[in-house]
Amino acid sequence: MMGETSNYGAMLATMAILDYMHAPVVGFYFLGSLFFGFCILQKPKPLSRRRRRVAITLMLTTLLAYFVELLYYLGKAISNNDYEAPQHAVIHCLGSLLAWGPLSFSLIKVDSLRWHPYFGAFVLQFLFETTLSLTNLLAVPSEFRNDNGALVIGFLRSAASLGLMFDGFLILIRKQDEKGTDEETQSLINNQPNGSATQTANGSYGSIPESSNDDDEDNEGKDDDKEIKEQQAKRLEEAGGWFGYMKSFAVFLPMLWPTNDRVVMFCLFIRGINLAQGRVFNLLAPRQLGIITNKLTAGTTVMPWKDIALWTFYSWIKSYSGFGIFDGMANTIIQDKSFARITLMAYKHVMNLSMDFHTNKSSGEVLKAVEQASSLNTIIELVLFDMSPIIIDMFVAMWYVTHLFNSYMAFIILFMGAIYVWFGIYFTTWNRDRRRVYMEKTRAEHQIVNETLHSWHTVFYFNRAPHEQKRYGTAVWNTIGAHYAYYFRSIGGHAFQDILMTFGFAGCCIFAISKIISGQAPVGNLVTFIMYWETMMDPLYMMAYSWRTFSNALIDAERLVQLLNTKPSVVDRENAQPIAVKSGEVEFKDVCFAYDPRKQIITDATFTAAAGSTTAFVGETGGGKSTMIKLLSRAYDVTSGSIAIDGQDLRSVTRHSLREIMGLVPQDPELFNSSIRENIRYGRLEATNEEIEDACRAAAIHDAIMDFPDKYNSKVGERGVKLSGGQLQRIAIARVLLRNPKIVLLDEATSAVDSAIEAQIQEAFKKLSTGRTTFVIAHRLSTIVEADQILVVDKGEIIERGTHGELLEKGGKYAELWTKQTAGNISTANSKAPSRVGSPDGGQGPLIDITPPQEEGGTATGRGENEDAGEVRQR
């Protein structure tokens, strides 16, 4: 008989273990399986209405059965004061309510979902419920069974779980071709073949599309939401799921965890110590106050100095004035250094990208994306110092509260905490798109400011200040509207969570007070619990906060990740060597190039520029002359053919060494908003003041500079707006003269100077070109009559070549251009004053007045030449 009783006791212990295990196993399996399917982008499966109704009915039946069993135990306890419900059975019901509640509501809410987690939960539910019911019925005699009513309810749940498992199996094997056109089975994210509107054809970092008129503003939020989902879906699909998506952020890991930086690693060590001591003293401080309270309620007449001192010490050491001050200092150092590393990395990456990126980029958005590198500073703190302690704190809290009262109190906290965290994650997910829209609007607002400030003169001369003010005002209010939409949702979620926490705290206190009244716990336990409440709730706050902040940090950093993932189209080969220039001979061999594969820009360009010679490109605007210069400086790589300097293919040498031997005088020079001296010194950073002034004398700008009030220290304004066009070009020429390059590139370098200054500059060019290979792009043919060879470029092809005299004798395209210029049929709109063009014999011709602008397709000089109109049209 004793042996049988022992066996029954072992069987009851087994049932208690199964009761305790049931809900955690089902819940953690469901969450883990759901998370795994989410990470690998497992496709949601649509549910037919009939199947969904069956599953929902059975799940609600299961929930109701657990609730009825709790009411059954409560009714028996009320009717019989000596009756105490089995704790493991009550915990089993409460835990199952906690697990099956979210499952049921998640099934009600959506029309398509990842079904494997649900099916696995149904299988586990059936196994647990059937095992518990059969064990209670067959292995345990009637006097040891929980209750007959609970047994009946258990078999009812087992039958419902069997129906769920069978229905789930039918859903699992159902073919996906049953989607049809039912509205409820349509995907929420439309995978459009063209992808995101903000991504260029080659996948590079693009700009934010804007609404074309004010009538579109009402639908702008919906369009942005749709675009955001499309972008996110495309990035996730390309990355192979969330694992790959998160892996894309690994580029920041060396910045956030720099193993070679001893200062940062020591600071991380300090923060680790603070993390460990915080776990200990968060528990000891409220416990010590509880000890003091118990001594006082016991009627002691002795002052507990020792206990008070320990309580004071425990409270101080975990405060900011204790060890926290060192943690704060370490955190500041870590954040500052990580911000510096990430920002410098992003800046270096942007500056090393190729010209195709910089001709398509939106400067304002790129700058904002780089600024948002600061959002990544929070990642290491969230992962290591906020998220990691959560699990430890929760386990310690559950154990300690159970020690103070019983497992019911721990379950109340667990139940409330799970709901709190679930709502935190739900509200964060619900609000995530609004956060992303808000950041998009912020970048768009920043972009408008950046564009209009950089292009102030265009706004001024076209009198578009009111238009830009209205456009910026619209962007500001769009940002404010997006912020309201995000913020109001956020504070609503916070308010709901706080209400939940307030009522949960009141319920726990009521339960604790009931234990004290019944004599099952001392008063000090209540004081300890109240003091320990914040310590227990901090992990819950932090879990919701960390998820929200971590999600927002990733959203803010998405643009920066895209930027860093943009690869330059022109890169050095693995074995590239610095270029070695001896004579400076340049050879173009069968060169072909296209900005867009649909239209060729350069076709079979073949020529040789002898060492020390001058080669001039002439032709109509958009013919490909500036593209030749860009290919030579390797702003782009040729599509086919090759370009070589002294027999060295440009693709076999390093870009840095190639550009170091070149000096460019562009048609539209750009200067920094600093002094004239510093702008000229930019050509050779180690140049002395005397060398700078000599270069300016050679460029015929020294006397003009000396007339300025601050002379060489005069500020030129942003992009050199304080200077005239001719002054800008002469400073650019002085910068190249100072650089003393081996290959000189002149892109319409005298287009903005008058004839008197041009004669001085031409003399300077002769000195500069001596012994150097020079390439000149010119519309004013008088500037290149002494070139060693002149190449006439038309629609990307070299149609004529020779010296000035040889080309005139041919009577071809060059002779036609020369005749037009000498006959006065070309506008000199690029000049600051009327110019004298050269006569056929090389002298200065008659004064020519400025004529009206030529129609498109004419030969008038335009500012578009520097950008190459063919390139711009192909974008």
DSSP secondary structure letters along 829-852: TTSSS--EEEPTTSSEEEE-PPPP
Q: Do the beta carbons of residue 271 and residue 523 sit within 8 Å?
A: no
- Which residues have CB under 8 Å from 565's CB, separation 6+? 248
Instruction: List the alpha helices (DSSP H) in 740-812.
Output: 755-769, 804-810
Kindly state whether residues 393 and 360 are assigned to the same domain.
Answer: yes
Domain CATH number, residue 478: 1.20.1560.10
273 vs 430, more confident: 273
The total of other beta-carbon atoms located within 10 Å of residue 185's CB is: 17
Q: 532, 565, 598 — which closes off a domain?
A: 565
Q: Could you report the per-residue pLDDT of 501-535, keeping only the tens digit for each?
A: 888 888 888 888 888 887 888 888 888 888 888 77
- Tokens 């099934």 belong to residue: 107
Strand partners, 743: 662, 773
Strand partners, 319: none
In a domain, 185, yes or no: no
Q: What is the DSSP letter of 585?
A: -
858 pLDDT band (50/70/90 cuts)? Answer: very low
Q: Once rounded to an integer, what is the mean pLDDT over residues 716-741?
A: 83
For residue 849, pLDDT beyond 50 = no
Q: Output phi, psi for 323, to 5 deg.
A: -75, -15
Q: 158, 178, 198 — which closes off a domain?
A: 178
- pLDDT at position 791 is 92
Encoding tokens for residue 190?
Answer: 């439309």
Count: domains in the chain = 3
Kindly state whether residues 598 and 552 are assigned to the same domain.
Answer: no
Kindly state whether residues 221 and 139 are assigned to the same domain.
Answer: no
Kindly state whether residues 281 and 166 are assigned to the same domain.
Answer: no
Q: Do the beta carbons of residue 591 and residue 604 sit within 8 Å?
A: yes
Rounded Cα distance between 402 and 637, Å, is 71
For residue 248, pLDDT beyond 60 = yes
- pLDDT at position 588 is 92
Kindly state whether residues 592 and 471 are assigned to the same domain.
Answer: no
25 vs 760, more confident: 25
For residue 875, pLDDT beyond 80 = no
Residue type present at position 1: M
In a domain, 188, yes or no: no
For residue 866, pLDDT beyond 50 = no
Strand partners, 644: 587, 649
In a domain, 750, yes or no: yes
Domain carrying residue 433:
214-565
Measured torsion, CA atoms of residues 536, 540, 545, 551, in degrees rounded to the nearest 10: 140
pTM score: 0.57
Kindly state whether residues 264 and 408 are assigned to the same domain.
Answer: yes
Q: Once rounded to an integer, what is the mean pLDDT over residues 86-99?
A: 84
Q: Could you report the per-residue pLDDT of 26-43, keeping only the tens digit for each?
A: 888 888 887 777 666 666
For residue 862, pLDDT beyond 50 = no
Kindly state whether residues 549 and 635 are assigned to the same domain.
Answer: no
240 pLDDT band (50/70/90 cuts)? Answer: low
Domain CATH number, residue 777: 3.40.50.300
Q: Do the beta carbons of residue 828 and residue 817 sit within 8 Å?
A: no
- Tokens 């902040």 belong to residue: 549
Kindly state whether residues 427 and 549 are assigned to the same domain.
Answer: yes
Q: Could you report the per-residue pLDDT of 447-494, keeping only the tens digit for each?
A: 888 888 877 767 877 787 888 888 888 889 988 988 888 888 888 877
- Which residues have CB under 8 Å from 758's CB, separation 6+? 750, 783, 835
In a domain, 722, yes or no: no
Rounded (10°) angle between helices 755-769 and 689-698: 120
In a domain, 694, yes or no: no
Average pLDDT in the chain: 75
Instruction: List the alpha helices (DSSP H) in 518-613.
Output: 523-565
CA–CA distances in Å: residue 345 to residues 342, 384, 574, 739: 5, 23, 21, 28
Rounded Cα distance between 219 and 215, Å, is 9
Kindly state whether residues 480 and 546 are assigned to the same domain.
Answer: yes
- Taking CA 491 as the corner, what is the angle to CA 487 and CA 493, rounded to the nearest 5 degrees? 115
Q: 178, 205, 239 — which closes off a domain?
A: 178
Kindly state whether residues 553 and 593 are assigned to the same domain.
Answer: no
In a domain, 286, yes or no: yes
Report which listed range, 252-266, 313-327, 549-563, is most confident: 313-327
Q: Do the beta carbons of residue 789 and residue 805 sit within 8 Å?
A: no
Kindly state whether residues 154 and 29 are assigned to the same domain.
Answer: yes
Rounded Cα distance between 412 and 200, Å, is 54
Rounded (10°) angle between helices 407-454 and 523-565: 30
Kindly state whether residues 333 and 427 are assigned to the same domain.
Answer: yes
Q: Could you report the per-residue pLDDT of 677-710, keeping only the tens digit for each?
A: 988 998 888 888 989 988 888 888 888 889 888 8
528 vs 759, more confident: 528
Encoding tokens for residue 314?
Answer: 């425990």
